[in-house]
Structure formats: C-alpha cells, structure tokens
Amino acid sequence: MRHQPEEIGLTLDRNGWASIDELIALSNARGSRLSRTLLETIVAECEKQRFAISEDGTKIRANQGHSVAIELELAPQTPPEQLYHGTATRFLDSIRENGLHAASRQHVHLSLELATAEKVGGRHGKPAILTVESGRMARDGHLFYLSENGVWLTDTVPAHYLR
C-alpha cells in the first residue's frame, strides 16, 4: 500500500485509497491468503495504526509513510513546541549538516513521544533522538500535518531547528 502497489497490480486513487475487494483478490491470486476478516484484524491490531478503512468500508489506505505520490488530504495543524525524530547514530553527521529530508517518502515523520522516537531510531541501528523545534518552525512558516495515527509530518526540517 505504501510502496510499489503496482507490483501486485493494485491501483491507488490520488488520495492513496485502494479497493478492499481488489486488494483481497490480488493478494489471493498471488498466493497470499487474505480475507476481509483478516484485513480488518490487521488494521485494528496494528500497533502503529498504519492503515485506515474508509467510512463506507469499501477502501483501505496507509495513514502515512508512502513512497508513492499521493495526497493524504491532511489540513495543516499547529504542532506542539517540540517533536522528536528517531534515527541511527551513523546518520547524525549528515543530519546536522543537511537537516532532515523525506528522502524516498513524502514527508519527514516526527513523534510527540520520546519513547516512540527511540523505538523508530532503534530500527536503524544504535538510536539517536533529535529534538525538533517544531513550534518555532511553524511560526517561521513551515507546515505540519497530523496523520490519522498520530504521526506528525512535515516536508523538511532544516538543521538549525534540530537539537
């Protein structure tokens, strides 16, 4: 859903939604057994709440983290004064010089909770936590969005907003 949906023949609309029936059929045709019940369980029990089902129950999409171009239809939000970004220590020199960039994703992901950022950073090696002066960034004109699963998103974080 977030990366290369076309590899299984899945089509996302411009807002990242895909037909649940199509996803189930394509998954089953490729040998990955998927049912409506299993899909609903995955969505409900995913610790990171990565996916959402549409109000009418016919579509599914990832809440954030896409490497394909989609429009999540999120309205800009005023962030808290500080947010956190978890990374691996091996990336710190580059980040201190160049700031945070979305790279292959659409947005930089930021956490409200320090513990969440530490978990994220630990996925990539020895964790390092950066504090983002998000309030100051917003006052300086940078836009922030809050995904449905509580992840803060922004386009980039210039190095001078990082501690």
CATH for 121 = 3.20.170.30
Over range 138-162, report the average pLDDT: 93
Would residue 73 count as lying in a domain?
Answer: no
d(CA 71, CA 35): 27
User: 109 and 45 share a domain?
Assistant: no
User: 17 and 57 share a domain?
Assistant: yes
Would residue 142 count as lying in a domain?
Answer: yes
Would residue 114 count as lying in a domain?
Answer: yes
CATH for 27 = 1.10.10.970
User: 93 and 156 share a domain?
Assistant: yes
Range of the domain at 139: 83-161
- Show the tokens assigned to 157: 């974080």
User: 105 and 150 share a domain?
Assistant: yes
Number of domains in the chain: 2
For residue range 68-127, list pLDDT tens digits in order: 666 667 889 999 999 999 999 999 999 999 999 987 677 898 999 999 999 989 988 899
User: Do residues 60 and 17 lie in contact, with contact meaning Cβ atoms separated by under 8 Å?
Assistant: yes
Residue 65: its pLDDT value, please? 58
d(CA 23, CA 59): 9
Over range 131-156, report the average pLDDT: 93
User: 151 and 97 share a domain?
Assistant: yes
User: 58 and 123 share a domain?
Assistant: no
User: 88 and 156 share a domain?
Assistant: yes
Residue 114: its pLDDT value, please? 94
For residue range 46-68, list pLDDT tens digits in order: 777 788 898 899 998 887 655 56
Would residue 69 count as lying in a domain?
Answer: no
Taking Cα atoms as reference points, which of 112, 105, 96 lies closest to residue 151? 112
Would residue 147 count as lying in a domain?
Answer: yes
User: 87 and 142 share a domain?
Assistant: yes
Would residue 78 count as lying in a domain?
Answer: no
Residue 107: its pLDDT value, please? 85
Q: How confident is the model at residue 13 (pLDDT cuts 50, 70, 90)?
A: confident
Would residue 16 count as lying in a domain?
Answer: yes
